[in-house]
């Protein structure tokens, strides 16, 4: 009987057929029927959600394990059935319409809950797995957390994106990430916000600058000194400007730079003094940190996530590790 079954199996051949998005739509209609309900609506919403997050149908289809025409057909049927426009094409990227953004807020809640439920089931077996997207202002406070996280939960895929605090908050609120590291607290009822670390500001100069050789420097010594500083909107810049203004001192901006690396290089080449958060100060033989005795300036790093996502196992594990590292730093400061 086994031989008969094998001979029968050998008569079959695997044939790969490529369908257009319209053919896929007709095929989907034939399977699910019309109007869209139940399974067909869920599949279409999942296709929309993945496309909105990825920004392209190609990436979304890859993430869902679908052929692109199939995914496109799902979205097309969703738009045609309900008479809505979900995306506008901008070059090679897709941009959400206002209605699309409103729908995404709902689909993210649904599918984030599905992902959290799956993560919770895995966590119950001590098998943390999934994908955690972290948006951060920089690597300095983030990498220590990620190092521990990756060691404890090797099956979790970690994705890091860098931006300013305002952009990070927007992305977390728009369900484009799970956790954010921002400067200073955010007052939004939709966000969970936890202070992580205080970052003193340091002022630095080229090694051959006259102030670099002094045993101590006062804020008054910085009056009208040329500074290489970050662009408007930088929290570090805002805190430093407020400290100078509070003391009645003038801040002379010689040049604005768009990154810490650019500021550091310009200062090293004698274009002015610089100011940066202590964790971001990179030791360089060409630079000297000024011994400022009356600064007291600092920024504060905070962890944020959407409030309803805080109990999620992957998000919760991130916050727990950050708390452990804070406690370890506190104990070290006492010893």
Count of CA atoms in the C-beta half-sphere (13 A) of 128? 18
- What residues pair up with 198 in beta bridges, in sequence order? 300
Pairing of strands 130-136, 179-183: parallel
Can you give the pLDDT of all 335 residues of the chain as single tens digits? 444 433 443 443 444 445 455 545 544 454 444 556 667 888 889 899 888 888 888 888 888 888 989 989 999 988 888 889 999 887 777 888 999 888 988 888 888 777 777 777 777 666 778 889 999 998 989 999 999 999 999 989 999 999 888 899 999 998 889 999 998 889 899 999 999 999 999 999 999 999 998 999 999 999 999 999 998 878 889 999 999 999 999 999 999 998 889 999 999 999 999 999 999 899 999 999 999 999 899 999 999 999 989 988 899 999 999 999 999 988 888 87
Pairing of strands 191-206, 274-277: antiparallel
pLDDT at 126: 67
- What residues pair up with 158 in beta bridges, in sequence order? 132
pLDDT at 207: 96
Inter-residue contact 201 to 299 (CB < 8 Å)? yes
pLDDT at 4: 41
Tell me the C-alpha distance between 200 and 245, whole Å. Answer: 18
Q: Indicate the SS3 state at residue 288.
A: strand
pLDDT at 216: 94
pLDDT at 6: 38
Cβ atoms within 10 Å, residue 192: 20
pLDDT at 20: 53
Question: Radius of gyration of the chain from Cα atoms?
Answer: 27
Inter-residue contact 195 to 300 (CB < 8 Å)? yes
Phi, psi of 201 (to 5 degrees): -90, 140
Q: Output the DSSP codes for 162-205.
A: E--HHHHHHHHHTTS-SEEEEES----TTEEEEEEEEEEEEEEE
pTM: 0.66
């Amino acid at each position: 009987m086994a031989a008969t079954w094998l001979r029968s199996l050998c008569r079959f051949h695997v044939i790969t057929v490529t369908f257009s998005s319209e053919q896929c739509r007709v095929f989907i209609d034939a399977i699910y029927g019309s109007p869209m309900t139940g399974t067909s609506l869920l599949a279409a919403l999942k296709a929309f959600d993945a496309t909105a997050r990825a920004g392209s149908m190609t990436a979304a289809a890859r993430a869902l394990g679908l052929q692109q025409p199939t995914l496109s057909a799902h979205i097309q049927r969703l738009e045609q059935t309900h008479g809505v426009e979900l995306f506008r094409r901008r070059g090679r990227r897709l941009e959400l319409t206002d209605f699309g953004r409103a729908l995404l807020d709902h689909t993210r809640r649904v599918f984030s809950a599905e992902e959290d439920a799956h993560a919770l089931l895995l966590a119950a077996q001590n098998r943390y797995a999934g994908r955690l997207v972290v948006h951060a202002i920089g690597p300095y406070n983030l990498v220590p957390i990620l190092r521990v996280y990756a060691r404890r939960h090797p099956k979790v895929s970690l994705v890091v994106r860098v931006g300013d605090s305002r952009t990070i908050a927007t992305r977390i609120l728009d369900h484009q990430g799970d956790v954010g590291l921002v400067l200073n607290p955010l007052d939004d009822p939709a966000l969970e916000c936890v202070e992580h670390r205080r970052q003193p500001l340091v002022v630095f100069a080229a090694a051959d600058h006259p102030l670099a050789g002094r045993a101590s420097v006062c804020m008054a010594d910085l009056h009208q000194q040329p500074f290489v500083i970050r662009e408007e909107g930088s929290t570090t810049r805002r805190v430093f400007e407020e400290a100078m203004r509070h003391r009645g001192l003038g801040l002379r901006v010689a040049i604005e730079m768009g990154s810490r690396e650019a500021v550091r290089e310009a200062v090293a080449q004698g274009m002015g003094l610089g100011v940066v958060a202590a964790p971001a100060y990179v030791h360089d033989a060409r630079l000297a940190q000024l011994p400022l005795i009356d600064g007291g300036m600092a920024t504060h790093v905070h962890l944020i996530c959407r409030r309803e996502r805080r109990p999620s196992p992957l998000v919760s594990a991130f916050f727990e590790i950050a708390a452990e590292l804070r406690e370890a730093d506190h104990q070290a400061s006492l010893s």
